[in-house]
Amino acid sequence: MEPEREEYKGHRIELRPREGLDAAREEDLELEDLELHIDEQPVRYGQLPDGRYALEEYAYDWRDDLMELARRFIDYRERAEQIQREAESGEEN
């Protein structure tokens, strides 16, 4: 995986090198560890034995493409927030 950056629905998704890697690891992309950030907040992820990725906060979906998984996570959070707002407005009535 290589560092990437994109905007999705007003959110910034980034794969970037982990801070504090020694110089040899930073230069070798095969050894490089990348962090996933959404809106400058780190998002923990892992890789399953079959190569697919899973997010710690969104273990309902697994993907070969970590950036696609991040986009689906953003969609999931937006739906959850919408449901929460609807539930809160229903309680007020």
* Ordered structural domains, the chain, with CATH: 4-92 (3.30.1880.10)
Q: What is the pLDDT of residues 63-87, one digit of tens each?
A: 999 999 999 999 999 999 999 999 9
Q: What is the pTM of this model?
A: 0.78
For residue range 20-48, what is the model confidence (pLDDT) as tens digits?
Answer: 755 555 454 443 488 999 999 999 999 99
Structure token pair of residue 23 = 């110089």
Residue type at position 71: R
Cα–Cα distance for residue pair 34/16, rounded to 1 Å: 5
Structure tokens at 57: 């906060």
